[in-house]
Chain A
Amino acid sequence: MKQMNLKFTWVGIVLCLLSFFQLQSCKGKNKDADINAAIQAKTQTDATFAGVNATVADGVVTLTGQCNDDNCKTNAENTVKDIDGVKSVVNNITVVPVAIAPDNTLNSGVERVTARYPGVTADVNDGTITLRGQIKRDSLQQLMMDLNALNPKKVENQLVIK
C-alpha cells in the first residue's frame, strides 16, 4: 500500500512537471503569435512592406525580403521594434537597387544629348554625370530632363549659367 502511494506520488510529480513545462512553452508560443499578429496588422495596411517577411522566435523578430528603398528598410525595423514583447529585431531586408545605366551606355547617351548644347561638357564616372562649361538658363531644364532620362546614378551640375 505504501509503495503504491509512492508510485502515485511520483506519477503526480512527473505530470505536474510536464504540464508546467508545457504551459511555459505554450506561453512563449502565444507571445510570439501575438507579436506576429501585431506585425501582420501593422504591415498589411502599408504597401511598401509588401515584399517584407517577418519571423518571430522568443521575442526576436527576423525581417527578410525586399524593400524598394532605404526608408522602407528602416521603417520596417522601427515599426516592428515598437511592438509589445519584441526583444530585438534582426534586419536582413535587402534593398533592391535602383537600375543605373552602365557607364558605356551613359556615355553614348550623354554624348548624344550634349551634342545639342554647345559649350556643355560632361563626364561620366561610376554612374555620375558631371556637367561643366556654360549654358543659357533657358536651355538648362531641357538638358537636365534629357540627362535624367538616361538612368544615371546622379547628375552633378557644375555649369556656369548665363
Chain B
Amino acid sequence: MALRAKYQQLIDAANQSGVTNLEVREQNNVLYIDGQAPSEEVKKNLWDLYNKIDPDYRAGDLVLNVNVFGTSNTTAEQEYTVVSGDNLSKIGKMYGVSWNEIYEINKDKIKDPDLIQPGWKLKIPTK
C-alpha cells in the first residue's frame, strides 16, 4: 500500500494524461503500472516523473510498462537506426534475427541488402 502512496503523483499523471487501459497493481512489494500512452511525450513525462520520485530508478519497486498506443513494445517489432559500419548481418546478430528477416520487412527502403545507409531507421522483426 505504501508503494501506491509513493508513486501516487505518477498514477495521477497517468490518469490525467489520457493513458488508456491503465492498470495499477501492487504485488509482493512491487508496483506494476501498465497502460497505453497517447504519445511518446506522455510516456516520456511519466518516466521523468518516475525518475523524480525514485532518482536513477534505484529502488526496484516499480515496473512501469506504459507504451505508446499503436507502436510496439517488445513483443512486436522494434526500430534500429543504422550507423556507419553496420551491415544487415551485424544488426541481425544484435537482435538475434537473420539478416534476411530484416531485409524482408524493410524492402521499401532496402533495394540491395548489401547496401544500407547510416541514418536509416530499420524495422527489426521479433524472433
Q: Which residues of A line the B interface, CB within 8 A?
A: 68-71, 74, 95, 97-98, 108-109, 111-113, 115-116, 137, 140-141, 144-146, 148-157, 161
Contact = CB atoms under 8 A, between A and B. Distances in A.
A71 B26 contact: yes
Of listed B4, B24, B51, B65, residue having the most chain A CB within 10 A: B65
A98 B67 contact: no
Contact of B63 (A70, A115, A137, A152): A152
Interface stretch (B13-21, B53-61, B106-114, B115-123): B53-61
A111 B32 contact: no
A112 B95 CA distance: 5
14 contacts: A68-B23, A69-B24, A69-B27, A98-B63, A108-B127, A137-B56, A144-B47, A149-B65, A151-B65, A155-B60, A155-B63, A156-B60, A157-B56, A157-B60
Given A70-B28, A113-B74, 7 more contacts: A70-B1, A71-B4, A98-B25, A115-B94, A140-B56, A141-B51, A151-B63
B1 A71 contact: yes
What are the 3 tightest A-B residue pairs by CB atom distance, in nearest-first order? A69-B25, A149-B73, A115-B94
Given A112-B95, A112-B96, A116-B94, A154 B60 contact: yes
Chain B interface residue bracket vs A:
20 to 34
At the interface, is chain B mostly helix, strand, loop or mixed? mixed
A69 B94 contact: no
A156 B56 CA distance: 11
B63 A148 contact: yes
A144 B95 CA distance: 18
Contact of A97 (B26, B27, B74, B95): B27
